[in-house]
Amino acid sequence: MPDHHRLPLARDIRAGKPDGARGEVRSLDEARERRDLMQIGDLARETGKTVRAIHLYEELGLLTPAARSKGRFRLYGSEALLRIRWIGKLQEMGFSLGDIQTVVHEWERVESARSAMKRMRDVYARKLADTQAQRRRLEALEQELEASLAYLEACDVCDPHRLLSACQCCDIHDKEADVPELVLGFRAQVPHSAEKPSADDVP
């Protein structure tokens, strides 16, 4: 770990004499563990999250400090980095913090390792199916956008003095070509009424 992430020990283990070899080993192990811990500001910089977000994760039971310093500052280990990155990935998938809290609580309640892994597999399988369906929708939208742009590029050669109403009988585009729905939609003539509904009235 970089030096700027190393924290001073909660107490100076070199002060005083160790109580035998066993006490010295225990102090050395504690010192090594403490040097590998981060304060919340370091954790925020490492993960790109705010200190407030990390506090919220703790309040929701998604994250727990590994220890506290002598000054009662929260200290976090490498597992906190993994947990926060995991939370971020789930949020990118569309999970809310409430959803993630439910996943974590359900995971913690399952005693059987096999059942716990199956539960997570089911969660990921559903999300994979949703992601694949979303990808197909986005691919279809991408094709529609490309076709619409290609159609609209031909309008550059249109007479600038031509009226908009003439688009309904355009002679520039191929008559046999399908007009993309993204073009048909804004080009469609909407009948005028005495009272026009506002945008808020449309579901």
Tally of CB atoms within 10 A around 20: 9
Q: How confident is the model at residue 199 (pLDDT cuts 50, 70, 90)?
A: low
Nearest 10 degrees: CA dihedral of 65, 68, 74, 80? Answer: -30
What are the E-state strand segments in 78-173? none
Rounded to a whole number of angstroms, the distance between the first and last alpha carbons of the chain is: 54
According to the model, what pLDDT value does residue 49 have? 94
| Contact (Cβ atoms closer than 8 angstroms) between residue 49 and residue 89 | no
Each domain of the chain, given as residue ranges in start order, spans 3-87, 110-189
Phi, psi for residue 6 in degrees, rounded to 5 = -80, 135
Q: Is the pLDDT of residue 76 over 80?
A: yes
Which CATH number does 3-87 carry?
1.10.1660.10
Lowest-confidence segment of 20-24, 85-89, 118-122, 158-162 by average pLDDT: 20-24
Tally of CB atoms within 10 A around 54: 22
According to the model, what pLDDT value does residue 198 have? 60
* pTM of the predicted structure, to 2 decimals: 0.61
Q: Is the pLDDT of residue 140 over 80?
A: yes
